[in-house]
Amino acid sequence: MVYKQYVKLFRRAANKIPAYKAYLADHDFAVNKVRTIEDFTKIPVTTKKTYLQTHDRSDLVWPASFKQPVLFCATSGSTGEPYYFPRNEKLSWQMSQLVEDFVNNSSYGKGRTLVIIGFGMGVWIGGIITLRAFEIAAERVDSQLAILPAGYNKKEIFKALKKLAPEYDQTILIGYPPFTKEVIDEAEEEGIDLKSLNLRLMFAAESFTETFRNYVSEKGGVQSPILDTLNIYGTADIGAMAHETPISILIRRLAIEDPLLYRDLFGQIAKTPTLAQYNPEFIQFEEVDGDIVLTSDGALPLIRYAVGDHGGIMQYTEIAQKFRHYGINLDAEIKKAGIKKPKKNWPFVYVYERADFASTLHGIIIYPEFIKEGLVSKSVSNFFTERFTMSTKTDVHHNQFLQVNLELQKGVEPSDELQQLAFKRIQKSMKQKSSEFAEVSKSKSSDDLLQIVLWPNGHPRYFAPGTKQRWVEK
């Protein structure tokens, strides 16, 4: 049973990791109490603040970790000071498994594949671990892989799409969702016919909606949004923890069509969670009072670690039963979608954007997704990049309003007409996504609740090139 390996990991860490031994002692927790699954769930939860940041790094790792080669990666620092995580080859090898599956499941079949990595290639984990995972997977996959670590650099990516990609049977473009959308939106202007490249897309770092997936798939000429796109649920803490699979994408797309089913699965309909699967041999997730808690081994092992995300855990049998309740045969839908060898034995984790990555307006939690949905359409994509920063402010009369700082496409000049277009699209999306906002709008003018500020492309205040977008200004 998988849980047994994590009980063993706990005991080993409790005996070998000085910081963890001290942490358990501080919580007056006896190691020998943990024998069963139920015992395991009583182990004190760790966090970055209560565990990692209160001990020396050398006391948090396995005794032999720093005697072997390690690679440091840093958090983005979006919730505080950056933290440097040591990792060994184990996490890269684990990620190579998902890479292998994605490459082999291409709707275009086998063939020579160009992989363009558009993640930042600095201290952040995304670019480096993805590069290494593809290098490892290249030895095993059915297709011949060529890898270009372009980094967060549109100029180099456009060069590669124009000069290099046509020499290959298919191209995998990898990057943060808003950055990848920018590349796709600007490709035609750069003289690139994406639809001729048999494009596939891999994302990470944040969630997105099916509207977004449909948009980038259609505009990029992606043949199958289910087989040819994938979003990774990862963190600098432990690497690629879980990832979308064809079956998880299908489940989410089917659920969206029925609000009652959607609510039954995910608990609410105001937000769209990332739905991913994970290999229980690599990582263990738990849901504790609505928070995601993980256990995984690495150079720095984490035992019942609260990563700061909200969501829950489900098994395939549970999901299929809920689908049956609403008259849908999930097994039949999987077969109809052409999904081969679905990993029905792998658990599912659904993850919502963190509450601290949101703004509050008149007591209403406003998530970035509310704004994003208003900007993903053909009518606005020629003008706006979908990158923005929002914040709650007050006017001279101390009335609250939401300010959305919105980035214009390259070469587009700000105007009153564009400001009104953005206002109407975002306002409509916010009303659709939040019944509370729609209700408040009835008694208070929307003009007083929402303010749009347009900024030139790449403006350093909110949209500095080469940085991960910060959706919420604190």
| pLDDT, position 79 | 45
Backbone phi and psi for residue 348, each to the nearest 5 degrees, phi listed first:
-115, 145
- Indicate the helix (H) or strand (E) that contains 407: strand 400-408
Pairs from 414-423 (Cβ < 8 Å, separation ≥ 24): 414/454, 414/455, 414/456, 418/383, 418/384, 418/454, 419/452, 419/454, 421/379, 421/380, 421/383, 422/374, 422/375, 422/380, 422/383, 422/384, 422/452, 422/454, 423/450, 423/452
Quote the distance between the C-alpha of residue 163 and its chain's center: 30
Taking Cα atoms as reference points, which of 373, 104, 95 lies closest to residue 228?
104
Exposure on the CB side of residue 460, measured as CA atoms within 13 A? 0
- Specify whether the CB–CB gap between 248 and 5 falls below 8 A: no
| pLDDT, position 397 | 64
- Specify whether the CB–CB gap between 254 and 338 falls below 8 A: no
> Which residues, 6 or more positions from 281, have their beta carbon under 8 angstroms from its beta carbon?
2, 5
Quote the distance between the C-alpha of residue 34 and its chain's center: 33
> Which residues, 6 or more positions from 283, have their beta carbon under 8 angstroms from its beta carbon?
238, 241, 242, 294, 295, 296
- Specify whether the CB–CB gap between 48 and 83 falls below 8 A: yes
- Give me the domains of the chain, ranges plus CATH numbers: 89-354 (3.40.50.12780), 358-455 (3.30.300)
Which residue spans within 93-211 are E strands per DSSP?
A: 113-117, 145-148, 170-175, 199-204
- Indicate the helix (H) or strand (E) that contains 267: none
| pLDDT, position 78 | 46
Taking Cα atoms as reference points, which of 268, 353, 288, 295 lies closest to residue 79?
353
> Which residues, 6 or more positions from 158, have their beta carbon under 8 angstroms from its beta carbon?
183, 186, 187, 190, 192
Please give the torsion angle defined by the CA atoms of residues 472, 469, 212 and 384, in that order, rounded to the nearest 10 degrees.
90
**In DSSP terms, which residues pair with 452 in a beta bridge?**
404
| pLDDT, position 272 | 82
Report d(CA 464, CA 20) in Å as an integer.
39
- Specify whether the CB–CB gap between 276 and 244 falls below 8 A: yes
Percent of residues in the chain assigned helix, strand, coil, to nearest 5: 40, 25, 35
- Specify whether the CB–CB gap between 397 and 342 falls below 8 A: no
- Specify whether the CB–CB gap between 97 and 115 falls below 8 A: no
Neighbour count for residue 273 (Cβ, 10 Å): 22
Residue 134 one-letter amino acid: F
> Which residues, 6 or more positions from 465, have their beta carbon under 8 angstroms from its beta carbon?
152, 458
pTM: 0.82
> Which residues, 6 or more positions from 436, have their beta carbon under 8 angstroms from its beta carbon?
363, 364
Taking Cα atoms as reference points, which of 209, 145, 198, 208 lies closest to residue 175?
208
Q: What is the pLDDT along the chain (474 residues), one digit of tens a residue?
A: 467 899 999 999 999 999 999 999 999 999 998 988 889 999 999 998 999 999 999 999 999 877 777 888 887 554 446 788 888 888 999 999 999 999 999 999 999 999 999 988 887 788 889 999 999 999 999 889 999 999 888 899 999 999 999 999 999 999 988 889 889 989 999 999 999 999 999 999 888 889 889 999 999 999 999 999 999 998 877 889 999 999 999 999 999 999 999 999 998 766 789 999 999 999 999 999 989 999 999 889 999 999 888 899 999 999 999 999 999 999 999 999 999 889 999 999 999 866 567 887 876 778 888 899 898 877 788 899 989 999 988 777 667 789 999 999 989 999 999 999 999 999 999 988 887 788 777 766 556 889 999 999 999 999 987 677 888 886
Backbone phi and psi for residue 365, each to the nearest 5 degrees, phi listed first:
-80, 120
Report d(CA 138, CA 115) in Å as an integer.
11
